Amino acid sequence: MTKTLTSSAQDKVLRRRLGHTDLLLSPLGLGCWQFSNGNGLVGKFWPVLAPEAMTRIVETSLQGGINWFDTAEVYGGGQSELLLARTLKQLGSEEAERAYIATKWWPVFRTASSIPATIDERLRLLDNRTIHLHQVHQPYSFSSVASEMKEMAKLVQAGKIRHVGVSNFSAKNMREADRILREHGLRLASNQVKYNLLDRSIERNGILDAAKELGVSIIAYSPLEQGLLSGKYHRNPELVKAMSGPRKWTSGFRATGLRKTLPLIEALEQLGAKYDASPTQIALNWLIHGNGDTVFAIPGASKPHHASENVQAMRFALTAAELRSLSELSERARV
């Protein structure tokens, strides 16, 4: 269920500081993997979006209070960066001009030397917009964390990027990254990891604790467990058969998995009735309020109504008791 967005509603979206940076961001950003234009192995995960749909998705996100966008080099080999920047330029609004950009360097089969070697291409594809957050996309490369952070620090000092983040890093590697950045007068801003009501592994492997200890923000990707938390597959299991791609074979989408997670979905629906919200919005709200201001989330949107659904999740706050109740139910729903 979605509501018409108004300027007064936009003003109610509170900003929170990303880590130790000066960036004041909306609790939700827009994940832009789906803007890959069907390019490359990673980009083929999503259908090609029509330019009009992309424009409406970005515009709806901005009007709803989202002020930052997360993209990456590997998303369509730069297509996501290019199309995001093009769309923001075409919109030309004050919100579009002020939007913050986060992107990522792809490290697999590379060394840290490719960080400075590829930054000008990132900037070119982004139409020379400021890169507010540049992240190491994966911990797997031919270089050490220390080497990567030293190259990132040089980019900050050269004015090529504003802040440094990582993605999919362990607690140990987060601490190492922050230690090296401190030597250059900087701090690690964020760690982008998978986190949602059905995948809370960062609470058990030390990543969330390390983030709170260091003052590093968590950016949660896959915040809806690939749509499982929407509840639509529980209400209509036939939709699973019509799905394309490998996710239909994962445990969560099997009949046994759907049965196990149904009590959680029912709780999301009950809270949704209270807040005039969808299960999706309740699940996102749990993410951005369950750990103070530590966790941001980047749901994607392949249709304009998805973007409208996303922004409405920032219009309310679950109570402490409701957050705890969902946490307890989600522990029993792990598949």
**pLDDT 10s digits, 252-310:** 888 888 899 999 999 999 999 999 999 999 999 999 999 999 999 999 999 999 999 99
**Mean pLDDT taken over the chain:** 92
CA R_g for the chain: 19
Cβ–Cβ under 8 Å, residues 101 and 126: yes
Give the CA angle between residues 212, 214, 220 to the nearest 5°.
50
Query: Of 251, 257, 253, 256, which is closest to residue 242 (Cα–Cα)?
Result: 253
User: What are the DSSP calls for 4-46, one per residue?
Assistant: ---HHHHHT---EE-TTSS-EE-SB-EE-GGGSTT-HHHHTTS
- Whether residue 53 contacts residue 17, with contact meaning beta carbons closer than 8 Å, is answered with no
The span from the CA of 306 to the CA of 330, in Å, is 23
CA distances, 223 to each of 159, 187, 230, 286 (Å): 32, 25, 11, 10
8 vs 194: which has the higher pLDDT? 194
pLDDT band at 13 (very low <50, low <70, confident <90, very high): confident
Predicted confidence at residue 305, as pLDDT, reads: 94
Does the structure show a pLDDT above 60 at 6?
A: no
DSSP per residue, 198-254: TB-GGGTSSHHHHHHHHTPEEEEESTTTTTGGGSHHHH-THHHHH--SGGGGSGGGS
d(CA 329, CA 295): 20
pLDDT-derived band of residue 335, with 50, 70 and 90 as boundaries?
A: low
Reported pTM: 0.94
> Cα–Cα distance between 333 and 259 in angstroms, integer?
9
Please say whether the dihedral angle defined by the alpha carbons of residues 227, 230, 233 and 234, taken in this order, is positive or negative. positive
Please tell me whether residue 195 adopts helix, strand or coil conformation: coil
- Is position 233 annotated as part of the catalytic site? no
Residue that the structure tokens 């490998």 belong to: 246
pLDDT value of position 37: 74
Q: Is the pLDDT confidence value at 239 over 90?
A: no
pLDDT over 80 at 7, yes or no: no
DSSP 296: E
- CA atoms of 226 and 232, how far apart (whole Å): 12
Of 75, 195, 221, 233, which residue is the catalytic one? Answer: 75
* DSSP structural state of residue 186: -
> Residues 232, 261: contact at Cβ < 8 Å?
no
**Mean pLDDT confidence for 137-163:** 98
Helix axes of 279-289 and 304-312: crossing angle, nearest 10 degrees: 50
